[in-house]
Amino acid sequence: MWGIEVIFKGKNLIRLLGGLGTALEISLIAVAISIPIGIILGILMAGRNPVIKAILRVYLDFVRIMPQLVLLFLVFFGTTKVWGWDLSGEVSAVIVFSMWGAAEMSDLVRGALNAIPQHQYESAQSLGFTPLQTKIYIVIPQCVRRLIPLSINLITRMVKTTSLVLMIGVVEVLKVAQQIIEANRMSAPNAAFGVYLFVFALYFAVCFVLSIAARKLEKKWS
Amino acid sequence: MNAEVLNEYLPLFGNAALLTVWLGLAGIGLSIVIGLICSLVQFYKIPVARQIVRIYIELSRNTPLLIQLFFIYYGLPKIGIKTDPAVCGVVGLAFLGGSYMAETFRSGLEAVDKVHSESAFTLGLNKLQTFIYVILPQALSTSIPPFVANVIFLLKETSVFSAVSLMDLMFTAKDLIGLYYNTTESLFLLVVFYLIILLPVSLLGTYLEHKLGTPGVRQSIRKNAASRKERKTTIKEGVVNVGN
């Protein structure tokens, strides 16, 4: 009915899950790159050097204001034209999502650092903590608690955004779904409904679990 | 970059930008309506409707717009619901945006202290009056900064409309790159037009945030002002005392 049976025909299910795997792989690599870079940028943003702050501001605002698809086009088509690089869709996607993720992450880190009230630094100093000890025992533990749920949210957004890589020719879930529908055009003309519904459910399952985890941690640590 | 090519492409991108803006505004308008209804249902804890809204919000927030559009545009016609691309784009955007708006409005409504509505009741205002004169104005001022963020987010999301064959900015850029290989000019115009659309909204957001502030910020400013006043009076008193 409605083409749901097509999903379980032959290797279709494994192929769809493989497509999801590609999307998840891209987002996990991008997250792994963007978290350390984001932390460094965030610390710089919360710092005092006005030149570094101004430069970072422009970079972050540009990356955050542009649709991610535009950034993908810039890297995928732009680098080929300007420098003659032949980047694959996957590599472009990882580059773009890392840049974007780092920008988002740095904003979260800056927020977490600024949220620590000044009096805690002063109290630490009056208790005889050195600046390094203050960071290790007071600043970092609080920031980490605040950042973990927010980073999980970022991963959720990253996973949702990876669906865009279809537009630069990466074979992920949607592409596989299109191929399956195309191949079964004669035997199951209504397959589009069932297959796209299944893809919808797949994304929902992954993102729902992540956002529940983020919410639980946020409640527990706030 | 070739100036002639830029000149030739400019009207194409202009038209595409208009389409992006129109569809974006229609989708955002609809999502505000959906968001208001859903947030009120959640705020007043209306049974059954509340559970439906909860499910809708989870479904919409945990799936990408591209997948939603594919399902609406290619999936639904197979069970008899046909939509043309523009309608599909607007409906998809509203489906996605409604939940974001709902969460924003709900947190705005919940941020209003219970004491306010209780005081309004004691003063003889009925439920509707309390909502219109007491809760809504305060909720609006707290929801405006996240509301503008949602508008920017939704305008950005319109970039996937090209997947359902709408001739928006992305579609035009991809088409021109594919046909004539004037990549530099196409990408340049693509970025410029998105900046023209998004930068004013973003600047407006920053301005409003400074002007309204989140309540926390406003309170701290007020507190600082108060403590400054206090200090001034104590200094004055000090002067007076010395004079005596």
pLDDT given for residue A99 in this prediction: 92
Interchain proximity A73–B174, CB inside 8 Å: yes
- Decide if A35 contacts A151 (C-beta within 8 A): yes
Cβ-based interface (< 8 Å): residues of A facing B:
2-3, 61, 65-70, 73-74, 77-78, 80-82, 156, 160-161, 163-164, 166-167, 174, 177, 181, 189-197, 199-200, 203-204, 207-208, 211
Q: Does residue B218 or residue B103 have the better pLDDT?
A: B103
pLDDT given for residue B233 in this prediction: 44
Every domain of chain B and the residues it spans? 3-213, 215-244
pLDDT digits (tens, 9 = 90+) for A86-140: 888 888 999 999 999 999 899 888 888 888 888 888 898 899 988 888 888 888 8
Tokens representing A131? 């600046």
Banded model confidence at residue B240, pLDDT cuts 50, 70, 90 = very low
Every domain of chain A and the residues it spans? 4-221
- Decide if A192 contacts A174 (C-beta within 8 A): no
Task: Over range B12-20, report the average pLDDT.
Answer: 88
pLDDT digits (tens, 9 = 90+) for B106-116: 988 988 888 88
The fold of A4-221 is MetI-like fold (1.10.3720)
- Using the Cα atoms of residue B207, residue B210, residue B211 and residue B213 in order, give the sign of their dihedral: positive
Give phi and psi for B166, each to the nearest 5.
-95, 135
Closest CA to A38 of A98, A116, A93: A98
The answer, yes or no, to whether residue B221 has pLDDT greater than 80, is no
Nearest CA of chain A to the CA of B140: how many Å? Answer: 24
Helix, strand, coil content of chain A in percent (nearest 5): 85, 0, 15
Q: What is the CA radius of gyration of chain A?
A: 22
The verdict on B177 touching A (C-beta cutoff 8 Å) is: yes
Query: How many whole angstroms separate alpha carbon A14 and alpha carbon B214?
Result: 48
Query: How many whole angstroms separate alpha carbon B115 and alpha carbon B130?
Result: 12
Domain B3-213 is of which CATH architecture? Orthogonal Bundle (1.10)
- Decide if A64 contacts A103 (C-beta within 8 A): yes
Mean pLDDT rounded to a whole number for chain A: 86
Question: To 10 degrees, what angle do helices B183-212 and B3-43 make?
Answer: 40
pLDDT given for residue B227 in this prediction: 47
Residue B231, by phi and psi: left (phi above 0), alpha (psi -120 to 50) or beta? alpha
Residues 6+ apart with CB under 8 A from B168: B16, B19, B20, B23, B158, B159, B161, B162
pLDDT digits (tens, 9 = 90+) for B230-239: 444 444 444 3
Helices (H) and strands (E) in chain A, counts: 11, 0
Nearest CA of chain B to the CA of A116: how many Å? Answer: 15
Q: What is the pLDDT along chain A (222 residues), one digit of tens a residue?
A: 667 777 777 777 888 888 888 889 999 999 999 999 999 998 888 888 889 888 888 888 888 888 999 999 889 888 877 787 888 888 899 999 999 999 989 988 888 888 888 888 889 889 998 888 888 888 888 888 888 888 888 889 899 988 888 888 888 888 888 888 888 777 777 788 888 888 899 999 999 999 998 888 888 876
Q: By percentage, how much of chain B surpasses pLDDT 90?
A: 33
- Which value does ipTM take for this structure? 0.85
Tokens representing B53? 């809204």
Give phi and psi for B74, each to the nearest 5.
-105, -30
Task: Over range B219-233, report the average pLDDT.
Answer: 45
Residue B104 identity = T
Nearest CA of chain A to the CA of B102: how many Å? Answer: 17
The verdict on B74 touching A (C-beta cutoff 8 Å) is: yes
